[in-house]
Amino acid sequence: MPQDLGIVRHFAHLTDPRVDRTKKHRLEDILVIALCAVLCGADSFEEIQRFGKAKLDWLKGFLALPHGIPSHDTFNRVFAALDPDEFSAGFASWTAQWCPDAGLRQVAIDGKALRSAPADTFSGCLHLVNAWAVENHLFLGQVVVEEGSHEIAAMPALLRVLDLKGALVTIDAAGCQKAIVSQIREQGGDYLIPVKGNQPSLQAAVQAVVGSACESELQGCDTHESREQGHGRQEERYVTVIPAPKGLPGGWPEGWPEGWEGVKSVVVVGRERQLKGRNASTTHYYISSLDATAKEMAGYVRGHWGVENGLHWCLDVTFREDANRTKDANAGANLGAIRRVATSLLKQDPGKGSIKSKRFQAALDTNYLLRVLQGFAQI
């Protein structure tokens, strides 16, 4: 049994919000117990306490626990007092170190509402904006949408804590903002962002570029087609990458709006879907600072939705996050960070089975739980 868990080192500088006379339990003990409990199926502070008491002898193998297992009220108070941004950054520094060797890293930025936790945000509830390493299935950080605010205002703070060198950032249309594009480029990253009606002048310019490319029969453009069939559905995708025209001011036709830094291509994604005898077709437009092939762009567009399928769906179905009623916003956000790290850890495990079955196995087998905690490398 190891006497140290590497995750503790990444919280060495985490501010302990408690006054000295209330520090009955070590902060690192509280955090590690919570992570282990959530890995094993705990979804609330009461369940975290129950896990701790049931596994007390095992936990003593690597935690001090001078006064035993904290009460659920203690877990709640500590999580409510911890700064969510600082807490998330501690986890991010732990998980991000396993990304560097993956070449161009795709980082998907997307928000998620916790429906059972009311708050005065644009979604009417606690809302977290997450960063997810698509290929590595790793949680890279999150920020809380502040009361009276929305996702757009939260994104710059999240980007600031990320190392974007060598990264491709993909965001939904809400992130199609000049300031966000500029920030990504200033931090050394590339971007691929959809263009919709929230940026009418940009949308009109993009459609003009596409129209001009079509008139020239897509000369100088790259295209890619793919087909999928299954579960009664047939879908065809057509991706076209239109590179920046040469010999024009700024690389783009006259009338291209200013302030969109580093645009190198317009990407057009067409989808034709047949389901239960009904046909539907859609066309989506993107701008990107990346010089890539149509096949590569198709992968990045699809990869972005990995944050929905690989993270958000798992959080709702397996961790029942939408049903979580933690009232305090800080406590809810910090417990949310624990869930996201637990998801990352369980996804690193090469064994077969769903995330739900792996949580069950971790609850039954402490040797397996320990392997999950050590799943990245030596921690």
Per-residue pLDDT reduced to its tens digit, 123-173: 888 889 999 989 888 888 899 888 888 889 999 999 998 889 889 999 999
Q: Average pLDDT in the 314-323 region?
A: 88
Q: Do 107 and 139 lie in a common domain? A: yes
Whether residue 330 lies inside any domain: the answer is no
Average pLDDT over residues 56-83: 94
- Tell me, yes or no, whether 197 and 100 share the same domain: yes
Q: What is the pLDDT of residue 108?
A: 94
Q: Give the separation between CA 32 and CA 7, rounded to whole angstroms.
A: 8
Q: Look at strands 125-133 and 105-118 and give their pairing.
A: antiparallel
pLDDT confidence of residue 99: 62
- Residues 159 and 225 both lie in one domain: yes
pLDDT at 81 over 70: yes
**pLDDT value of position 38:** 97
Residues 239, 125 within the same domain: yes
Structural domains of the chain, count: 2
* Residues 97, 78 share a domain: no
Strand positions, DSSP E, the chain: 105-118, 125-133, 138-144, 167-171, 190-195, 222-230, 233-243, 265-275, 278-288
Does residue 128 share a domain with residue 265?
A: yes
- Give the model's pLDDT for residue 378: 42
Please determine, for residue 329, whether its predicted confidence score (pLDDT) is greater than 90: no
pLDDT of residue 159: 94
| Final residue of a structural domain among 281, 311, 341 | 311
Integer Cα distance of 49 and 72 in angstroms? 5
Which pLDDT score is estimated for 355?
93
Q: What percent of the chain has pLDDT over 70?
A: 90
- What pLDDT is recorded for position 94? 73
Of 80-84, 248-252, 349-353, the poorest mean pLDDT is in 248-252
Tell me if 265 is assigned to some domain: yes
Burial group, residue 321, by CB count within 10 angstroms (0-12, 13-18, 19+): buried
Question: What are residue 30's phi and psi, to 5 degrees?
Answer: -60, -45
In a domain, 240, yes or no: yes
pLDDT in tens, 238-286: 999 999 765 444 556 666 778 888 899 999 999 998 877 788 899 999 9
pLDDT at 368: 93
Q: How many CB atoms are closer than 10 A to CB 211?
A: 9
Q: Which residue among 259, 290, 311 closes a domain? A: 311
User: Higher confidence at residue 149 or residue 378?
Assistant: 149
CATH of the domain at 275: 3.90.350.10
Which residues 6+ apart lie within 8 Å of 195 measured at CB?
173, 176, 202, 203, 206, 285, 286, 287
Same domain, 173 and 293: yes
DSSP 247-260: TSGGGS-TTPPTT-
Q: Return the pLDDT at 376.
A: 47
- The pLDDT assigned to 3 comes to 44
CB-based contact 52:70 (threshold 8 Å): yes
Residues 209 and 149 in one domain: yes
* Same domain for 150 and 246: yes
Q: How far is CA 277 from CA 182, 233, 274, 280, in A?
A: 45, 9, 6, 10
Same-domain pairing of 123 and 96: yes
The one-letter amino acid code at 121 reads T
Instruction: Report if residue 331 sits inside a domain.
Output: no
In a domain, 249, yes or no: yes
252 and 143 within one domain: yes
Residue 162 domain-assigned? yes
pLDDT, residue 119, reads 82
pLDDT at residue 224 in the model:
95
Query: pTM of this prediction?
Result: 0.87
More confident site: 249 or 233: 233
Q: Does 343 reside within a domain? A: no
Domain around 247: 92-311
Q: Is residue 337 part of a domain?
A: no
Considering the chain, what is the average pLDDT of its residues? Answer: 87
> Would you call 149 exposed, middle or buried from its count of C-beta atoms within 10 A (0-12, 13-18, 19+)?
middle
| 148, 289: one domain | yes
Higher local confidence (pLDDT), 213 or 37: 37
pLDDT on residue 190:
96
Edge to edge, the sheet with strand 167-171 lists 138-144, 125-133, 105-118, 167-171, 190-195, 278-288, 265-275, 233-243, 222-230
Query: How confident is the model over 97-121, as pLDDT tens digits?
Result: 666 554 568 999 998 988 788 787 8
Question: Burial letters for 232-268: b for 16+ Cβ neighbours within 10 Å, e otherwise?
Answer: eeeeebbbbbbebbeeeeeebeeebeeebebbebbbb
